[in-house]
Structure 1
Amino acid sequence: MISIKNLTFKYSKTKELFKDLNLELEAGKICGLLGKNGAGKTTLLRNMTGLLFPTHGSVYVLGQDVSKRNPEIAKEIFYVQEEYELPAMSIDLYAKIYAPFYDRFDISNFKDLLEKFEVDYSMKTQNLSYGQKKKVQIAFALSTGVKLLIMDEPTNGLDIPSKAQFRKVVISSLREDQSIVISSHQVRDLSNLLDRVVIVEDGSVVLNEDVYDISSALLFRQIQGSNVPENALYHEMIPGGFLVVQPNEGVEQSQIDLEALFNAVVTSKDKVKSIFKNQNMNKDAQL
């Protein structure tokens, strides 16, 4: 679905944001893109959509170079930006104008999703709150039927019930031939949603693993008292003890804590890389 080879990117004469970044993502997955502020998550997403072009390297989606802006590929990509101003018009007119760009747009699904988000289809966009506008964007995006859906901070502006609804509609909308990439600082909003986690740090991809493989390789647990295990990759204080991330040396599977995972990867990068390298080698040996 997405193939990024040796991506180097910089703005004007500034320092390179990415240097020889490589990333492969397959179809049928919901991928979470995580990174610190300034790590280049939005820039990476815009390279995936063809809105920005690599200084060196290539970005291919569905086998085609997105920088060529081929209309056949453009209509298979939808990008929900973090900040986007809807044109002042009724939601109905908005759909009539923009839906024809997408061959598989489902107007019935769009109306159904708006109903689930408690947004009246007859309303005008200029009368919507920020959160309601976000819901319109998400509902429209999920109704396009595109093969690559990219969302940058989609839960910003959503209240707690709407965030739960967001997770439900995203999971129910995914098709086998579709990929969804979500970048967010609100990592708790992505809990139980992701199939794969990608973390960017220092201009490169430092983690790109399926959720199942993460829970097989790492153990996330809470311990009482102050005795942090010597092999802990990361720990943080919680009431009565610590939240710990450590190598999973048995067959136990635990619920992934995305915040703790990110901190473990950033603070113990080499150790985490080694753990997944060994796990992948063992998987290959079993094939």
Structure 2
Amino acid sequence: MIQLTDLSFGYRKQPPLFNGLNLSLGAGHIYGLLGKNGSGKTTLLKNMVGLRYPTAGRAMMGGLDTAKRYPDVLSQVFFLPEEPYIPDHTAKTFLETTSPFYPAFDRELFNGYLAAFEVPEQQVLTKLSLGQQKKFMIAFALACRTKLLVMDEPTNGLDIPSKAQFRKVLASAVDEDCCIVLSTHQVRDLDHLIDSVIILHDGTIKLQVQLDQLTERIRFGRVSGGATSILYGEETFDGTHAILPNPEGISSKPDLELLFNATVNDSGMLLNYLAEEGKL
């Protein structure tokens, strides 16, 4: 569905953020884009949807260059920034002026999402709290039912109950025709949703893998004593939280924070192991 080929981008008078970056995303997945602050996650997303223009290479959706901003592409893409613009309108006026740009928009779904998030429909949007504004825009984004939905730090500004509701609503919204990309540094907010992880570091994609395939080859757990087969570990008060080889195929819950740290901070032991196992 989405293909980034030899994509390069940099801001004027600054070193390039990306140089020849390649990335392929398919429908039916929820991708988690992880990276350090300043690594270029938001810029990469904007290149992906045609809001930034690469200095070289292309971002394609369905065979069309997103930078060309064809109407047929724009109607199938929704990008929700971390701090979305909120107009001084009621929900009704916002829907009347904005939803026609999205042919698959579903008003019944939208009403259901608003009810789930407990967001009032009649109030002027700018009079809502920041958290309610964010939930309104999340509800609208999901109701547009676009083929590509990109959300930048979607849980920022949400309280704990709202984060739980967001996970529930998003899980119900994904289908085999939709590709969802979530950029976040709050990995524990979204680790139950993400089925594929992308780690951006030093201008390159250091790791892209489906989590079910990953846990066929490695397992996450706590070890103590003189374990020698650790691929990556972090000492804590209750032992070493570790990533280990998994020749027995033991099921374990992925620790995305540990995986991220292993990918960007380690000497390469984990990535080398995965490459040898054919998972990179």
> TM-score scaled to structure 2, two decimals?
0.96
Taking the aligned partners of 2:262 and 2:246, their CA distance within structure 1 comes to 13
> Once superposed, what is the RMSD of the aligned Cα atoms?
1.5
Counterpart residue number, 1:168: 168
Change (3 A) 1:209 1:165: same
Q: Distance in 2 between matches of 1:199 and 1:180?
A: 16
Deviation at 1:108, TM superposition (A): 1.0
Please show how residues 202-221 of structure 1 align to structure 2 within 5 Å: 202-221=202-221
8 Å contact kept, 1:28–1:176: yes
The structural deviation recorded for 1:250 is: 2.1
What is the CA–CA distance in structure 2 between the aligned matches of 1:116 and 1:97, rounded to whole Å?
23
The residue matched to 2:278 in structure 1 has which SS?
helix
State the secondary structure of the residue aligned to 1:229.
Answer: coil
Q: 1:228, 1:219 → 2: CA distance? A: 18
Deviation at 1:213, TM superposition (A): 1.2
2:242 to 241, 244, 251: 244
* Aligned pairs for 1:57-76 within 5 A: 57-76=57-76
Instruction: Evaluate the alpha carbon distance shift between residue 128 and residue 194 of structure 1 in structure 2; reply closer, same or farther with a 3 A threshold.
Output: same
Per the alignment, residue 10 of structure 1 pairs with 10
Q: Tell me the equivalent position of 2:102.
A: 102
- The amino acid of 1:155's aligned partner reads T
Q: Which moved more, 1:240-249 or 1:117-126?
A: 240-249
1:78/1:150 contact within 8 Å kept: yes
Q: Deviations over 1:30-49 (max 9, x none)?
A: 00000011110000000011
Aligned to 2:126: 126
Contact 1:2 1:62 in 2 (8 A): yes
Counterpart in 1 of 2:21?
Answer: 21
SS of alignment partner, residue 280 of structure 1: coil
Letter of the aligned partner of 2:270 in structure 1?
A: V
Residue 114 of structure 2: aligned partner: 114
In 1, Cα distance between equivalents of 2:273 and 2:232: 14
1:149 corresponds to 2:149:
yes
Return structure 1 stretches of 4+ with deviation > 4 angstroms. Answer: none
Q: 1:246–1:141: structure 2 CA closer, same or farther, 3 Å change rule?
A: same
Counterpart in the other structure of 1:260: 258
C-alpha separation in 1, matches of 2:235 and 2:158: 29
Letter in 2 for 1:262: F
Identity of matched residues, %: 44
CA contact (8 A) 1:233 1:268 kept: no
* Superposed displacement of residue 198, structure 1: 0.3
Residue pair 1:92, 1:122 contacting (<8 A) in 2 also: yes
Gaps of 5+ in 2: none
Letter of the 1:230 partner, please give it: T
How many pairs align?
280
8 Å contact kept, 1:228–1:242: no
The one-letter amino acid of 1:272's match is: L
Asked whether the 8 Å contact 1:217–1:275 carries over to 2, the reply is no
The structure-2 alpha-carbon separation of the partners of 1:81 and 1:244, relative to structure 1 and needing over 3 Å to count, comes to: same
- Verify the 8 A CA contact 2:232 2:270 in the aligned structure 1: no
Query: What is the one-letter code of the residue matched to 1:131?
Result: G
Deviation at 1:14, TM superposition (A): 1.0
Distance 1:211 1:232 in 2: 19
